[in-house]
Structure 1
C-alpha cells in the first residue's frame, strides 16, 4: 500500500526511543496485529494520522510561539494518544516530551522538541507524496 512506504529510519532521530534497525516511524507489525491483519485499515489509519500531524504540528508550533503552554500540553497529550494508537513510537516519544516540557513551562525545550515533530511530520508527508 502506498502509505506504508518506509520513510526515514527512526534511529536517525536524535533521542529516538526506537531501536536501531527499525526502518520507519511506525511499528508496522504491531499496527497490523492491532488491525487483525487488515491492510486497508492500516492504510486508512496511517493516512488519517498523517493528516492529523499536518494540521496539529503547525498548531502546536503556533501555541508555543504564543506562549500558551497549557494549550501546548493539551495538544501534545492528544497527539501522544493518537501516536500510541497507530503504533508511531517516535511521535509518541516527542509528544510526551513536549507535554512534560510544557507542563514545566520550559519553552526552549518545547520549541526544540516541536522541531523533531516537525521533521517527522515532514518525512511522513513526503512519504505520502512520493507514493
Structure 2
C-alpha cells in the first residue's frame, strides 16, 4: 500500500487551481475539459481538486463542504517550505485567510496555518530536521 493522492472537493476547480498556483507556486498539471477535476504539480503524490457535484455522485449521503464551515475541517494539507513567513504572506496576498501566524515550536519547527478561499486548511511548515 502507498499513499497515492488527495482530492479536495471544491465549488470551483479552476479557481482552486489558480489560487494554489498564485499562493503556493504549485503549477497546474491538469484540468479536465469539463472543469470538474484538476491537479497541481506537487511531486510524487497528487493533489487534486474535484467539483462538489462530482462528490455528490460518489457519496449518497452527501458531504461537508469546507467553504461552508465557519471553522476549518479537521484535515489539513501540509506544504513544506524553507521560508514559512514569506510563504504565509504570499498566501494571504493571494486571498487566503490567516488561521495562525507563523510560530516556532519548542523543537525549532516553524508552522503557520491559512485557509484557502475554497475552505481548505493549509499548514505551511519548515522542514523537520532528522
Structure possessing the higher radius of gyration over alpha carbons? 2
- Structure-1-length-normalised TM-score: 0.29
Q: Which has the higher strand share?
A: 2
- Structure-2-length-normalised TM-score: 0.29
Q: Which has the higher helix share?
A: 1
Larger RCO: 1 or 2 (CA < 8 Å, sep 6+): 1
